Amino acid sequence: AQKITQTQPGMFVQEKEAVTLDCTYDTSDPSYGLFWYKQPSSGEMIFLIYQGSYDQQNATEGRYSLNFQKARKSANLVISASQLGDSAMYFCAMSSPSGNTPLVFGKGTRLSVIA
């Protein structure tokens, strides 16, 4: 069975600094996708970034990048130049090879950006 582990319940980062949110996953399948979502205090879930298991390059979307280390089964989210608006819960999620089962989510990391 697939499993996502986010080991950091909460983190603090100084404004303008970079921060890494950890995500490790467990699967025996060679084909899968990894997703990161942001949940600000208002509650909505916002898609940030996607990495496919066969992608050779690490995914990037603006200030977000995904540090994908396939052999270590990790998919860490890196936020560069943190902003106060980055304070939120962040969830890592994983898809199955066929996409015929729902995404599996981690328990999330609460990031607080300090001025």
Partner 1 sequence: DADVTQTPRNRITKTGKRIMLECSQTKGHDRMYWYRQDPGLGLRLIYYSFDVKDINKGEISDGYSVSRQAQAKFSLSLESAIPNQTALYFCATSEGPGFNYGYTFGSGTRLTVV
Binding mask 56-95 for partner 1 (x = CB under 8 A): -----------------------------------x-x-x
Question: Over the chain, what HEC string results?
Answer: CCEEECCCCEEEEECCCCEEECCEEECCCCCCEEEEEEECCCCCCEEEEEEECCCCCCCEECCEEEEEECCCCEEEEEECCCCHHHCEEEEEEECCCCCCCCCEECCCEEEEEEC
Using CB under 8 A, which of the segments 15-23, 46-54, 65-73, 74-82 binds partner 1? 46-54
CB of 11 to partner 1, least distance (A): 15
Binder to partner 1 among 13, 21, 35, 77 (CB under 8 A)?
A: 35
Q: Which residues of the chain form contacts with partner 1 (CB under 8 A)? A: 9, 31-33, 35, 37, 43-45, 47, 50, 52-53, 91, 93, 95-100, 102-103, 105-108
